[in-house]
Amino acid sequence: MRLNRRAFLKITGAAALLAAGNPLLAAANKPKNKKGPNILYLLTDQWRAQVLSCAGDTNLKTPHIDSLAKDGIHLTHAYSNSPVCTPHRAILMTGKYASQTNVWHNNDLMAPDEHCIAEHFGKAGYETGYIGKWHLDGPSKPGHVRYRQGWKYWAGFNRGHAFNRGVYFTDSEEKKKVPEGIFEPVHQTDLAIDFIGTKSKTDAPWFLMVSYGGPHMPYTAPKEYMDKVDPKSFSLRPNVKNMNERHRKALHGYYAHYMCLDDCIGKLLKTLNSLGIADDTLICFTSDHGDMHRSQGESYKSKPWKESIGVPFIARWAKGIPAGRQTASLFSTIDIYPTLCGLSKLDKPKDLDGSDLSHVFTKTTGKENEIVYLTIGAPDKETAWRGIRTRQYTYAWHANKETGYVLYDNLVDPYQTNNLIDKPEHKQLQQKLHQTLLQQIKAIEKPMNA
């Protein structure tokens, strides 16, 4: 079975034109102008779900993020629908799968006419701001971002991870340099503190997204953090294979970067407290995808294993989210936009693909997700795979090769060490999951030759 890209593009292109020309649809999508919480959205890059002290990792301490979990909600089953930077960010910004935006791969350009989350919240009276890595404006590196998609305040760049020689752009193509000797995330935190201090003097709510570039490779951090971590004493995950000295060195920098970011987040929390606006601010901490670090013998991302697709998602809002809760409710990138609308009491746009799961956060009744849909690669790419994550199972399939990829019972096998794919004794289970996956593909990426 093959995904028919030409027919897919023809249909989605026609649908986009129809939506763009429908004034009734545009009016229905207009949010209500109500004062909601401030939103501080902390987006990291390649931070996998398991690496937090509140998630049980003993190799480091993340006290400030742990405090967010203690005072808010920790979603232990949060996933990236497409565990690569650009596709994740397009889903986050638009609330739509790649089958609508055509953003399938790193360095794809998100169309400038996509109606994005900052535009929606801006129309509702929010002051919006974006700091850090964007990675939605094509391949330019670091790159002045041409299309801000509704983010009014801007101190960002398109792509890259030059943590020790960072640059960014504001309102022009003039490149600004992070002061010499200042680690890029530290400077980005200072910019965020300035934004929060300025906007807290006004009556309007604000929505600030701080997009840190780490703990992504090149896996580095200031010496004070490198010295806090002893790579020789690391406790490795049971599914790690073929870890050599180079890999261990990378893991050293990875953990050190975590602790630096935790301190940066601590500064932001202190700022909110000092300004007296902590209780009025919804804080979300998450990542675009995870990092394998030799689990399953693999590195980096774009894989269907939990170290790649699993991301942290912690939210705190004293006036709206009951404190001290952990939940295994399924949550993924596609749900973030509509859920932020729900928490902020805004009508969500009608064309979003995800679910408003604000009731999960506020501990009220409502329907929960049964499936997370996973994608890597455009429909015509031979290496593309599609998958699903349910509460119990992970199943993925190479659609254009018509071959199985992985099948795990995550309750029995939490470290995914026993791949059940194509094993005769699990044939019936595999067939059932495959049919469920095909239903997802047809619903989300139709048409598909069945």
Active site residues: 85, 135
Exposure string for 313-349, b = 16+ CB within 10 A, e = fewer:
bbbbbeebbeeeeebebbbbbbbbbbbbbbbbebebb
Residue 128 contacts residue 401 (beta carbons within 8 Å): no
* DSSP three-state, residue 130: strand
CB within 8 A of 408, min separation 6: which ones?
393, 394, 416, 418, 419, 420
Residue 212 contacts residue 191 (beta carbons within 8 Å): no
Q: What is the dihedral of CA 358, 79, 61, 37, to 10 degrees?
A: -20
* DSSP three-state, residue 78: strand
Which residues is 74 bridged to in the sheet?
A: 314, 326
Which residue in 386, 367, 372 sits closest to 331, CA to CA?
372
428 secondary structure, DSSP code: H
Report the 10 Å Cβ neighbour count for 350: 10
Tell me the CA end-to-end span of the chain in Å, nearest whole number.
Answer: 6
Taking the CA atoms of 90, 313, 150 and 166 in sequence, report the sign of the dihedral they define.
Answer: negative
State both tokens at 444. 């989300």
Which residue in 207, 208, 211, 145 sits closest to 184, CA to CA?
211
